[in-house]
Amino acid sequence: MIDELDTLQRFRAQPYEAPASVVLRARQDLLAVIGKESTDPGIRSAQTASSFGQDRSIRPHGARSRRRVVVVVATAAAALIVIAVVLIPNGRQPSTAAAALDGIALTAAQQPRQTPGPGQYYFIQEKVSVLETAHNPADDVSAQASFVGTENSWVSPNGSGETTQSWSAPRFSSPAEQTAWNAMPGAAYDLGPLNGLDVFYSGQLTGADAMDLHGFLDVSQLPTGETQLSEEIENGTTGIHSIDTVSAGINTDFERVALLLTGPDIGATPQFTSALYEVLSGLPGVTLLGPTTSDSGQSGLGFSAPSTGKDPTTVIVNPNTGSFIELRYNDDNGPAPNGTFGGGSSSIAFTTSAEWVEPLQSTIAASSSLPPVPGCAAHANFPGCG
Amino acid sequence: MMESVPVASVRLTDAQVMALSVADAAEFTEIFERHFGPIFAYLARRVGFSAAEDLASQTFVIAFERRSTYLPHPSGVRPWLYGIATRLVSNHRRSEIRELRATARQRPVNAGPQDTDVEQFLERAAAESTYQELASALADLSDDLRNTLLLFAWADLNYKEISVALGISLGTVGSRISRARQILSRRLNRVEDSAPVHLAETPSKEEEQ
């Protein structure tokens, strides 16, 4: 007598394990649908607010040039924290972020490698959006200003190139805000008036000097295997000064990977980028924020990790290509003495893009023809002066 | 203020993740990571690897789009997902029937190198023959009976979970499974009575090589 149920359970009973490519494709299908929901303004604004991060030890070179007298308004920061707690409860399994990063690693590995053609230059554009809050303790008045910095670099494969940096004029939410800002000690000089754009730096350098000035990270000698790369990042033995000297914090490894993703990198292969995501996937405390809109309006997936600052550090990446979109952090230098330059805190969104272009597209004039940097006469130690 | 930063510690239940995903769509990826494997396996067993790829992906896209309608169940989101997957299989009924008929039509088994003696070969041949008849019987079942029975036998859902998955009463689940088992039992044991023994088809040594 045949047992029909037993027979049925043995029929086609071989383990049907989904191949990694099938899981990846299904995951991407799902992420695409999730991404569409991010166009919902309510969801997007909440997620953007929750992921706006800070960290004192991350300081991409595009953002390092200006220091301002600012003090964070505690109530605004607290509001951001409340939103973060509501949207991302304690106790989330890390597998969500890890799985998403593993998928992105696979995608990144399949991207074509960018290589220069004859006579081509590497063009890098970096943009930084800064929102600063100043507080004058003398009369307990606060004011906010926002501005955008842009840095363009043209670099040949041998390291020669040019860089210009410009900053937009400060924007204020109202005339009253502007009046309050201008009344801040030191603020009037710090933000302008700059007539829209000012050339902050331009020069023509070659070799290591150029690499250093442009802030490039030469990753060509780094391993492309996850385990080895992870060890070098963890031990601070990458040989890249700006990576190895990231100050020890509660998530130094995340910060190092975030900086390597941000670049601009020289010598990065798709395998290297993929390995970076694998390393990120294995780090503790990394949280998937979900669809996140960058400051420049690009959609991506946000990942964050606790930092030494008051907010997490956040990286936004394109899940369909594995390319980096934006790094968010808070540049918190602590309150500066009243009326002096430097110190303070800024909320920063940093983005970079890189491509090989024909040299003709470099429209930068020779450095000798550029106007002098405003303010240098009075502030010789200001970046770009002296 | 660092205390507010999320730190992974406690595993959320499916229901909690589903509730969170209504406000934060990205949370739903956790449901995908937890359940994609078993759902894919179930679908592959029913419609084959190739069709399962698309259906498994569709299952989670549909589940995501309908997540606000999910009602928490003690068994988690599993029955609900299997319900969606099963309805998708019904939409691709012809693929499943074609797979089953193909199995049923396979020519009688021949002895292979692994058959070290006649008894072992006969056992395997009988099993293959039984599977062919089983496939034919499954193909002949109505969709309702087949879906209910296979959720029980292949997805390991209990009666309560099947009632949630298919949106039918507990009594209907019991009745369907009972009827389906009776049909299969009759077909399989009829085969056993006239069990085909294809000794004549035992391959020659040349064929074995």
- What pLDDT, in 10s, does the model give residues A168-187? 767 888 898 888 777 766 54
Does A8 contact B149 at a Cβ distance shorter than 8 Å? yes
Report DSSP letters for A298-336, one per residue.
-EEEEEEE--SSSS-EEEEE-TTT--EEEEEEEEE--PP
- pLDDT for position B173: 84
Amino acid at A334: G
Tell which residue, A127, A152, A149, A147, has the closest CA to residue A214: A152
Please tell me the distance from the alpha carbon of residue B111 to that of residue B117, in angstroms, as a whole number.
Answer: 10
Residues within 8 A of A (CB atoms), B 96-135 only = 130-131, 134-135
Are the Cβ atoms of A26 and B153 closer than 8 angstroms?
no
Whether B139 contacts chain A with CB within 8 A: no
The C-alpha atoms of residue A309 and residue A52 are separated, in whole angstroms, by: 12
Query: How far apart, in whole angstroms, are the C-alpha atoms of residue A53 and residue A305?
Result: 9
Residue scoring higher pLDDT (B72 or A271) = A271
Q: Which of A38, A47, A93 sits opposite B30 (nearest CB)?
A: A93
Residues A378 and A254: their CA atoms lie apart, in Å, by 39
Which is more confident, A213 or B25? B25
Tell me whether residues B29 and A89 touch, CB distance under 8 A: no
Closest residue of chain A to B53, computed from CA coordinates: A22
Strands, E assignment, chain A: 121-136, 141-155, 161-167, 198-205, 217-218, 265-266, 287-293, 299-305, 313-317, 324-332, 345-357
Q: With a cut of 50, which residues of chain A have pLDDT below it?
A: 40-95, 187-207, 210, 333, 335-344, 360-386
Q: In whole angstroms, give the CA distance from residue A264 to residue A214.
A: 9
Give the pLDDT score at A277. Answer: 95
Assess whether pLDDT exceeds 50 at residue B177.
yes
Q: How many residue contacts between A and B have a Cβ separation below 8 Å?
A: 159
3-state secondary structure of A24: helix
CB contact, 8 Å: B60 with chain A?
A: yes
Give me the mean pLDDT over the B80-102 stretch.
Answer: 84
For residue B21, CA distances in Å to A91, A121, A200, B79, B111 come to: 15, 45, 46, 18, 54
pLDDT value, residue A191: 44
Q: A203 - beta bridge partners?
A: A163
The two counts, helices (H) then strands (E), for chain A are 12, 11
A288: nearest CA partner in chain B: B26
pLDDT score recorded for residue B200: 36
* Per-residue model confidence (pLDDT) at position A224: 92
Q: Which of B25, B27, B153 sits opposite A5 (nearest CB)?
A: B153
Q: Report which residue type is found at A228.
A: Q
Residue of A nearest to B67 (CA): A34
Between CA B127 and CA B121 the distance in angstroms is 10
DSSP β-ladder status, A217-218 and A265-266: parallel
Give, in degrees to the nearest 5, the angle at Cα A51 between A50 and A54.
Answer: 115
What's the average model confidence in pLDDT over B100-124? 65
Q: CB B130 to CB A33 under 8 A?
A: no
Which of A18, A29, A310 has its CB closest to that of B40? A18
Is there a contact between A11 and B52 if contact means CB atoms under 8 Å apart?
Answer: no
Nearest C-alpha neighbor of A364 from the set A176, A229, A169, A204: A204
Q: Output helix, strand, coil percentages for chain A, rounded to the nearest 5.
A: 35, 25, 40
Torsion from C-alpha of B83, B86, B88, B91, nearest 10 degrees: -130
CB atoms within 10 A of CB B169: 10
Residue B77: what pLDDT?
92
Which of A7, A81, A301 is closest, CB to CB, to B1?
A81
Give the per-residue pLDDT at A330.
66
CA distance A22 to chain B (A): 6
Q: What is the pLDDT of residue B133?
A: 84
- Residue A164 is predicted with a pLDDT of 64
pTM of the model: 0.44
Instruction: Supply the pLDDT for residue A6.
Output: 86
Chain A contact probe: residue of B17, B24, B35 with most A CBs at under 10 A = B24
Which tokens go with A48? 């953007």
| pLDDT over threshold 60, residue B57 | yes
Contact A34 B135 (CB under 8 A): no
Query: What is the rounded average pLDDT of the residues B182-193?
Result: 76
Note whether B96 and B44 are within 8 A (CB): no
Q: Do B57 and A288 touch (CB under 8 A)?
A: no
Chain A residues closer than 8 Å to B21 by CB: none
Measured CA to CA, the distance from residue A131 to residue A349 in angstroms comes to 9
Of B4, B28, B30, the CB nearest to A84: B4
How much is the pLDDT for A280?
A: 93
